[in-house]
Amino acid sequence: MYNCVINCCSHALPVDEISEIFDEMLQCGFVPNTITFNVMLDVYGKARLLKKARELFRMAQKWGLVDMISYNTIIFAYGQNKDFRSMSSTFQEMQFKGFSVSLEAYNSMLDAYGKESQMERFRNVLQRMKKTSCASDHYTYNIMINIYGEQGWIEEVAGVLTELKECGLGPDLCSYNSLIKAYGIAGMV
């Protein structure tokens, strides 16, 4: 029952109220499951409450209740908070613990590095994706278009657009918005 309440409330209530419900759940002796932890990790991560997210992730690990979604969510939270060291080490830990690296984890890392103009790290993640044959999705391509555009790297933007078309996805609305922004930054609109 608490899982449903926490999940529903995560979309409607302020973080502190959701946290109170979670704490009440623990105090009443209810044991959270992986879904509960993942929802709360998402809540804390999106609210940029990294300390709470980190503590919750450690609790979930202690109880053996982490999965690939848990790792993706905490990697996203570290990236949003520019804690690149923790993001990278958690990514490595994820692999060491035997979890497959997901596209979501790669996308979180690309987005975080790109937004902070950490272009060498950004390109290293792209290379890692290619080495592991991790196929990009629209979100990946749109991150690339957006980040390259913000750098003013129009040739790279054009290359991503070509790759997007060649893989059969084609640009979507976000792609076109990012392209317009990129060409605007480059003074080409």
Q: Binning pLDDT at 50, 70 and 90, where does residue 11 land?
A: confident
Condensed to tens digits (0 to 9), the pLDDT of residues 43-88 reads 999 999 999 999 999 999 999 999 999 999 999 999 999 999 999 9
Q: Which of 29-33, 105-109, 137-141, 144-148 has the lowest mean pLDDT?
A: 29-33
CB 97 within 8 A of CB 64: no
Rounded to two decimals, the pTM is: 0.90
- Reply yes or no on whether the pLDDT at 2 is more than 70: no
CB atoms within 10 A of CB 29: 6
Both structure tokens of 35 = 């879904």
- CA–CA dist 137, 167 (Å, integer): 10
Q: What percent of the chain has pLDDT over 70?
A: 99
**Mean pLDDT lowest among 1-15, 78-92, 93-107:** 1-15
